[in-house]
């Protein structure tokens, strides 16, 4: 049996896509939504897979780094896909129970990575 818990985070950031010839070539901003999912077994003592507060502590440094920033200062090509790969490398390395991430760039557009992607 697989059990998962997810915590949702939000941050605001600007970017543009160099060399891209659509509307995203211009500087613009997004209200990003990051869904962080952990999968595992319930600890019999705590009754939890992972405390939501612990998930928050893992993600907080990412949010503090990128919130209200120009993402081009951190990523050569700040697409949702490239950002998500970087987030995955950081978070999955620190907490192996992190099983998937989903980054919404808009309310209807997202990139997703999971253990199955490895």
Catalytic residues, by residue number, are 24, 68, 105
Parallel/antiparallel/unpaired status of strands 69-70 and 28-40: unpaired
Domain 3-117 grouped into CATH 1.10.150.120: no
| Residue of 43, 44, 47, 57 whose CA lies nearest to 95 | 57
What's the pLDDT at 2? Answer: 80
Which two structure tokens, joined as six digits, stand for 6?
Answer: 């997810």
Question: How high is the pLDDT of residue 79?
Answer: 97
Provide mean pLDDT across the span 107-114: 97
Residue 117 has pLDDT above 80, yes or no: no
Q: What is the pTM of this model?
A: 0.93
**pLDDT tens-digit map of 21-36:** 999 999 999 999 999 9
Across the range 54-82, mean pLDDT stands at: 97
What is the Cα–Cα distance from 11 to 13, expressed in whole angstroms? 7
**Pairwise CA distance, residues 42 & 44, whole Å:** 6
Report CA-CA distances (Å) from 43 to 40, 46, 48, 96.
9, 6, 6, 15
Residue 93: HSE in the Cβ half-sphere, 13 Å Cα cutoff: 6
Beta carbons of 115 and 99 less than 8 angstroms apart: yes
């Amino acid at each position: 049996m697989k059990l998962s818990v997810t915590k949702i985070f939000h941050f605001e950031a600007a970017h543009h896509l160099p060399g891209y010839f659509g509307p995203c070539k211009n500087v613009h901003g997004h209200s990003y939504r990051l869904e962080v999912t952990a999968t595992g077994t319930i600890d019999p003592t705590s009754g939890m897979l992972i405390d939501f507060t612990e998930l928050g502590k893992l993600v907080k440094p990412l949010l503090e780094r990128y919130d209200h920033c120009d993402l081009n200062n951190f990523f050569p090509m700040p697409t949702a896909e490239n950002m998500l790969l970087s987030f995955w490398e950081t978070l999955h390395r620190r907490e192996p129970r992190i099983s998937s991430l989903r980054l919404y760039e808009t309310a209807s557009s997202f990139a997703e990575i999971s253990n199955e992607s490895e």
